Amino acid sequence: MTGTTEPAPMRHELKHQISPPEDLVLSGRLRRLFPHDKHAGADGSYRVTSLYLDTPYDAALREKLDGVDRREKFRLRYYGDDPNWLKLEKKFKVNGLCGKRSARLSREEGERLLAGEPDFLLEREEPLLAELYHKLRGSLLAPRTAVCYDREAFLYAPGNVRITLDREVRTGLSPLDFFRPERFFLKPLSGLTVLEVKYDAFLPDLVRMAVQIPNRRAAACSKYALCRRYD
């Protein structure tokens, strides 16, 4: 299996935590204005399950909490109920802008990572996989927390805008439950929804007005950091 992607353009990212009544009003507005993305099911949403990796000293978590200008984190991800193909993603932030590189893995390869058997990463001869291998060995990067949520996502071509509403954010007691999301019963947000708006060079006025919520300001909101509360 091959397919490491080139780095995507650096993007802006805004995040809010919103209440159920705010979610109800906002989602109704967005559905009238923008199409859902291709992953959407019949109800317009789909499940996302991610496994975050970190060092024994929590480098990714601490850099996030400290607001370090240049930081990165690795995660595995799959959509819906089918973990037979996974995305390995390296997310990075530089001076407030976000970027991402990714590669595809099979479920078997994901299970080998969980089992602490990463040698296959070098066999693939892909730069991102080689980088992960050296960080697993050199920085002792390892699976730390699995996170699951239900996502409703909207697209708007001008500005390459993506708006997501992540609901029912939940986690479990072990990162080894990555392939068993039914074991995720801990909910750090107590019913709140995470609103994210990502865009390239500019945010169109239509989107700016559509996502406007009175008395709300953009704030840092890391689902990984929230779910680490249960360590």
Residue 76 exposure: Cα atoms within 13 Å on the Cβ side? 29
Main-chain phi, psi angles of 120, to 5 degrees: -60, -20
What is residue 75's predicted lDDT score, i.e. its pLDDT? 97
**Per residue in 121-152, pLDDT tens?**
999 999 999 999 999 999 999 999 999 999 99
Beta carbons of 44 and 30 less than 8 angstroms apart: no
Residue bearing the bigger pLDDT, 171 or 217: 171
Query: Beta partners for 76?
Result: 51, 88
CA gap 226, 174 in Å, rounded: 15
Distance of CA 152 to the CA centre of its chain: 13
pTM: 0.91
Question: 55: which 2 tokens?
Answer: 């060092």
Q: How many Cβ atoms sit within 10 Å of the Cβ of residue 113?
A: 22
- The β-bridge relationship of strands 142-156 and 70-79 is unpaired
**Which pLDDT band, with edges at 50, 70 and 90, does 222 fall under?**
confident
Q: Is the pLDDT of residue 205 over 90?
A: yes
As a whole number of angstroms, the distance between CA 76 and CA 78 comes to 7
| 37-69 pLDDT tens trace | 988 888 899 999 999 999 999 999 999 888 888
